[in-house]
């Protein structure tokens, strides 16, 4: 329920009313976010939950010129009267509930209409701005297109002039070559001489036609062939096939470092395995040895035997299952979960022959989860084991106990 504010102070002139709401409401200042102020022609409202103030004014005001501001926890109104007059009171007299409701609805309706008109005006203004921007863009594009066309036309004229100049020079050169020819003259003193003439090319003594000057000019106009050469390319040796610009040097160096460490570890393992006897290099013999150690309660020795067997052959699911059992006894719960998960990865595809091993893996991993108080994950593993072996009453009882624990916890 709202707390109605009844205390306020006001003053007036012939053209304005000054109102302070509330300053203090029941001894408490308005707090919290900025109050919601609504001002209409005959109605005022200030909402600052849980406080609420309403006023039905004596006469209409001009809400467009009226103002409100927040100062020291109070809302100060400056209301401009529509008609210059002195009010007898701030609030209207004899306002029943129906009239109050009607005034509220009219005020809200007018506010909605005003907001709608302002939104439409903003939309029209926005469309006009968009239209002006589009016209300006089109004008700039048209100017740019004209400029490009003018540049193209200038380049075309320049190229045409160069071609015409080249044609004129070529014609002059051909005319000069056509006028200068060689003609035979009479023999003098037992020999035949040649002299230039303005006629065309004549036959030589051997009976063939030719033009020495034309041939010489033609040979001089042909450029000499280009000189051949070799370009040597040197590539930086890289381990990765991608180009250096497409690679990340830091990540590649880290990868190479890890690869080198892995090779050193493998080399050390091989050197250590060479010192073992033939029996100790057999993973089945090591598994049997670990089983015997487990039966005697020497779980650490059993884990060592299983570790060595895994180093020799890491594809045997029974090694991970047995080592998970040892970790459960040693309270190495996270390692038990890891070994059980590895065994389940190796026990694929699920077939009837490995059903028993899968049941053990789910039960041991579920047990480790429950020891870590992760009962939801543990229940999932027990239900998976029960799905493989539905007739196992022991697994069903354990699953029911885990379910009750989860219910009690919730």
Tell me the three-class secondary structure of 137-177, residue by residue.
Answer: HHHHHHHHHHHHHHHHHHHHHHHHHHHHHHHHHHHHHHHHH
Collapse the DSSP code of 315 into the 3-class scheme (helix H, G, I; strand E, B; otherwise coil) and give the result. coil
DSSP conformational letter for 76: E
pLDDT of residue 221: 67
Q: Is there a cis peptide before residue 390, judged by omega within 30 degrees of 0?
A: no
Q: How do the domains of the chain map onto residue ranges?
A: 3-95, 247-276, 279-409
* pLDDT tens for the 410 residues of the chain, in order: 667 777 788 888 888 888 887 654 444 455 556 778 888 888 888 877 777 777 888 888 888 888 888 877 788 888 888 888 888 887 877 777 777 778 878 888 888 888 888 888 998 998 888 889 888 989 999 999 999 999 999 999 999 999 999 988 888 888 887 664 444 444 444 444 444 444 444 444 444 444 555 555 555 666 777 778 888 887 767 666 666 666 677 777 888 888 888 777 766 665 566 666 777 778 898 899 999 999 999 999 999 999 888 888 889 999 999 999 999 999 999 999 999 999 999 998 899 999 999 999 999 999 999 999 999 999 999 999 999 999 999 999 999 999 999 998 87
The pair phi, psi for residue 226, each rounded to 5°, is -70, 150
| pTM recorded for the entire structure | 0.38
Is the domain spanning 3-95 CATH 3.30.465.10? The answer is no
- Supply the Cα-derived Rg of the chain in whole angstroms: 52
pLDDT of residue 186: 47
Class of 279-409 per CATH? mainly alpha
Residues 274, 259 contacting (CB under 8 angstroms): no
pLDDT of residue 200: 45
């Amino acid at each position: 329920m709202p707390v109605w504010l009844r205390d306020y102070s006001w003053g007036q002139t012939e053209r304005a009313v000054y109102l302070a709401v509330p300053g203090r409401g029941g001894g408490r200042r308005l707090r919290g976010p900025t109050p919601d102020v609504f001002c209409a022609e005959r109605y005022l409202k200030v909402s600052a939950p849980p406080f609420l103030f309403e006023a039905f004014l004596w006469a209409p005001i001009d809400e467009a010129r009226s103002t409100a501001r927040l100062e020291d926890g109070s809302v100060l109104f400056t209301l401009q009267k529509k008609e210059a007059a002195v009010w007898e009171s701030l609030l209207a007299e004899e306002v029943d509930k129906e009239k109050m409701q009607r005034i509220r609805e009219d005020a809200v309706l007018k506010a909605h209409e005003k907001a709608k008109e302002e939104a439409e005006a903003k939309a029209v203004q926005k469309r006009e701005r968009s239209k002006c921007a589009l016209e300006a863009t089109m004008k700039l594009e048209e100017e740019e297109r004209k400029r490009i066309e003018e540049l193209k036309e200038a380049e075309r004229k320049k190229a045409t002039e160069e071609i015409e100049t080249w044609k004129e020079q070529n014609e002059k050169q051909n005319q000069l070559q056509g006028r200068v020819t060689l003609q035979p003259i009479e023999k003098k003193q037992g020999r035949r001489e040649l002299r230039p003439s303005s006629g065309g090319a004549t036959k030589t003594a051997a009976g063939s036609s030719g033009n020495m000057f034309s041939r010489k000019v033609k040979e001089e106009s042909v450029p000499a062939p280009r000189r051949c050469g070799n370009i040597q390319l040197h590539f930086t040796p890289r381990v990765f096939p991608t180009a250096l610009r497409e690679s990340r040097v830091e990540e590649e160096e880290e990868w190479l470092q890890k690869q080198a460490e892995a090779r050193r570890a493998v080399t050390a393992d091989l050197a250590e395995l060479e010192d073992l006897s033939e029996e100790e290099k057999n993973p089945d013999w090591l598994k049997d040895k670990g089983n015997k150690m487990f039966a005697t309660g020497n779980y650490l020795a059993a884990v060592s035997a299983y570790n060595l067997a895994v180093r020799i052959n890491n594809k045997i699911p029974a090694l991970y299952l047995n080592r998970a059992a040892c970790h459960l006894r040693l309270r190495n719960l996270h390692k038990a979960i890891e070994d059980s998960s590895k065994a389940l990865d190796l026990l694929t595809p699920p077939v009837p022959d490995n059903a028993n091993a899968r049941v053990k893996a789910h039960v041991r991993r579920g047990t480790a989860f429950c020891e870590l108080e992760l009962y939801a994950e543990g229940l999932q593993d027990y239900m998976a084991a029960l799905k493989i072996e539905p007739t196992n009453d022991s697994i069903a009882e354990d699953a029911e106990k885990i379910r009750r624990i989860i219910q009690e916890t919730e």
